[in-house]
């Protein structure tokens, strides 16, 4: 088998890899093999969590919306059901923003849906 020396490209890869893993603990920030493994896992988690973030935010909006609705004597489930029956198309993000920042506007929306 021929001898392979670590020349410019391999060293450049090592340098960039260790720069990316700066701040990782133990061997993951110092040794090439461990750093490479750490980057593979980091990439997998980043890919997965970009999608999970959407679910986390939707849950947050639902909780905020439910809290705002309970002040007006209804629940999230009843409100969403009534909204669907009336054919209203307001998304949960906007409704939760209204509940948190513009309670008077939110109250009018709730009255219109539940009436």
User: How high is the pLDDT of residue 7?
Assistant: 85
Q: Exposure string (b/e) for 16-30, b if CB count within 10 Å is 16 or more?
A: eebeebeebeeebbe
Where do the domains of the chain lie, and which CATH numbers do they carry? 8-114 (1.10.1900.20)
Q: At what angle do helices 92-101 and 103-114 cross, to 10 degrees?
A: 130
pLDDT at 2: 87
How far, in Å, CA of 95 to CA of 86, rounded?
Answer: 16
pLDDT of res. 14: 95
Residue 81 has what pLDDT?
A: 94
pLDDT at 48: 96
Give the predicted TM-score (pTM) of the model: 0.72
CA angle, residues 103, 69, 89, in degrees to nearest 5: 85
For position 3, what pLDDT does the model report? 86
Q: What is the pLDDT along the chain (115 residues), one digit of tens a residue?
A: 888 887 899 999 999 999 999 999 999 999 999 999 999 999 999 999 999 999 999 999 999 999 999 999 999 999 999 999 999 988 999 999 999 999 999 999 999 999 8
Contact 66, 95 (CB under 8 A): no
Cα separations in angstroms, 72 against 10, 61, 66, 75, 104: 64, 17, 10, 9, 11
Distance CA 30, CA 51 (A): 30
Helix 32-70, helix 92-101: angle, nearest 10: 60
């Amino acid at each position: 088998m021929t001898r392979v020396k670590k020349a410019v490209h391999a060293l450049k890869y090592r340098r960039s890899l260790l720069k990316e893993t700066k701040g990782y603990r133990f061997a993951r920030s110092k040794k090439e093999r461990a750093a490479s493994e750490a980057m593979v896992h980091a990439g997998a988690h980043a890919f997965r969590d970009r999608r999970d973030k959407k679910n986390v935010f939707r849950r947050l909006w639902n909780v905020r919306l439910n809290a705002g609705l309970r002040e007006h004597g209804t629940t999230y489930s009843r409100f969403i059901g009534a909204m669907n029956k009336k054919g209203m198309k307001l998304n949960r993000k906007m409704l939760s923003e209204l509940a948190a920042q513009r309670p008077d506007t939110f109250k009018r929306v709730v009255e219109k849906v539940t009436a």
